[in-house]
Structure 1
């Protein structure tokens, strides 16, 4: 799972949903809505190096996404469905980068 600050994550979700890119998979939010977690394929953590985010290492064995959020105190922003089970990490990286640039531009407006 790739975890990012909520503001950047929400922007990335919007970018992914508007793009002609593969669909965004399930997304978790923490109870305080401070962070979002994008479900990504097993092994993504090995090559994940995006500043401002974290990628949790998992074994990937028996990948099943439960209907109920797997993390206590969290909820689904985008629940699992019959579509894409996870978000493509390369597409997510691009969307998070674009989201960071949009946020920086908005914060630096005169």
Structure 2
């Protein structure tokens, strides 16, 4: 599971949902709504190095709930596609913050 701050995660979900092919799998939010977690394939944690995020081997389903539930989701989020979406989301947030 790749965990990111909620604001960046929500932007990334929007970016992923706008792509031509559905690219986002199940997404979990924590109980305090501070973070979102994207389900990714096993082994992703071994090579994950995106600043401001963490990648762990197991989700934390005992806290929070599903933003995008796994029911009917046959896929997980592709790590390469997620990396690009998180980068784009970070750039959008930075641009908005600079203009505020």
Contact 2:45 2:57 in 1 (8 A): yes
Correspondence for 1:23:
23
Per the normalisation by structure 1, the TM-score is 0.84
Correspondence for 2:88:
98
Correspondence for 1:33:
33
Aligned length: 100
Per the normalisation by structure 2, the TM-score is 0.92
Structure 2: give runs of 5+ residues left out of the alignment: none
Q: Which runs of structure 1 show a deviation greater than 6 angstroms over 4 or more consecutive aligned residues?
A: none
* Whole-angstrom distance in 2 between the partners of 1:82 and 1:73: 21
RMSD: 1.6
- Kindly name which structure, 1 or 2, has the bigger radius of gyration based on alpha carbons: 1
Please identify which structure carries the higher helix content.
2
Confirm or deny that 1:88 pairs with 2:85: no
Could you tell me how far 1:19 is from its partner in structure 2? 1.1
Contact 1:23 1:84 in 2 (8 A): no
Could you tell me how far 1:83 is from its partner in structure 2? 3.5
